[in-house]
Structure 1
Amino acid sequence: MMGSRIWAYKVQEIIAESGRNASLLCQFPNNNHISLNWTRVDHMEKYVYLHRDGHFDPYNQHPSFKNRVDLQDRQMKDGDVSLILMNVTINDTGTYECRVFVGETSSWKSISIISLRVVVPPGE
């Protein structure tokens, strides 16, 4: 069921070289959201990044992303909730989803879905 929901959105494709940082872009026009989460579709039981109550919450973060992710703008000015994934590896290849909790509707809203493909740089 979760997989069928993803195809309702335009998926942005990003290619990153192994060992580099990847920027996963996500903009939310309303800066009054309560919570933000980034998930990877095949790791739904744990978050890539969770921001709630005004700060990063590492409790349910998937172990493979610990100390490797940060927001592009921690202040989330102008609704920029883009994620930086540091030192990517082939294992980071997958589909990522950016969601915000919208207080007016008391529900999660998917903002961005990104298909990340990590490649080995030529000559390695």
Structure 2
Amino acid sequence: MATSASLCCFMFLGVFVFVSADQEVISGQNVTLPCHANSKIPIIAVKWSRADLGEKYVLFYRDEQFVPVNQHPSFKNRVDLQDKEMKDGDVSLILKNVTINDAGTYECQVAQREPNQEIANLKIINTSKLSVVPPGQTRGHTEDGGKEAGSVGLKVGVTVFSLLFVVAVGFAV
């Protein structure tokens, strides 16, 4: 019984970690979406995309330059890499002057040249969910200015604490 409680807790904590990776920003701000590749293997290309954009992408960087050919028009002159030299595998995306239309799930893909490999294919490294709220509205408030019953962070934190307490009591018994 203690084993199943531990497994449940681990699975819940795994979901909690995923939820905490999501970002919420106020419209008009800049945001950095994190992505890190293996720094020991040379990075050939980086592509940031969003599924709802179809064949268009947010950013494509190859051969030390941006490739604007299929970039979605709404991202032109608004995106950059945090580190164009990609030191330590950092291929995080900077999105400037965020708007409500920027909300969505972003996918970071990286092509790296493995030893004895001629072709380097793009592989998904990370996904980040971005939520954007209008100026003057913050998390935990409704559109009419009233407070919600509680924020998601508080609810998740209390739930995690309660679950850990139950598991600890289960081991003590």
Alignment match, 2:123: 109
Alignment match, 1:86: 96
Alignment match, 2:32: 23
Residue number among 115, 118, 121 corresponding to 2:132 in the alignment: 118
Contact 2:82 2:93 in 1 (8 A): yes
CA distance in 2, matches of 1:21, 1:113: 18
CA distance in 1, matches of 2:62, 2:83: 15
Q: Summarize the alignment of residues 5-24 of structure 1 with structure 2, pairs less than 5 Å apart.
A: 10=18, 12-24=21-33
Structure 2 residue 110 is matched with structure 1 residue 100: yes
CA RMSD of aligned residues (A): 1.7
Alignment match, 1:66: 76
CA distance in 2, matches of 1:84, 1:16: 13
Q: Deviations over 1:92-121 (max 9, x none)?
A: 011100001133363221111011000013
Where structure 2 has 5 or more consecutive residues not aligned to the other structure, the ranges are 1-17, 138-173
Count residues in correspondence. Answer: 114
CA distance in 2, matches of 1:76, 1:102: 12
User: As a proportion of its length, which structure holds more strand?
Assistant: 1
Residue number among 14, 25, 49 corresponding to 2:59 in the alignment: 49
Q: Deviations over 1:3-32 (max 9, x none)?
A: xxxxxxx57311011000011000112350
Q: Which moved more, 1:27-36 or 1:57-66?
A: 27-36
TM superposition outliers: structure 1 runs of 4+ over 4 Å: none
Where structure 1 has 5 or more consecutive residues not aligned to the other structure, the ranges are 1-9
Of all paired residues, the percent bearing the same amino acid is 54
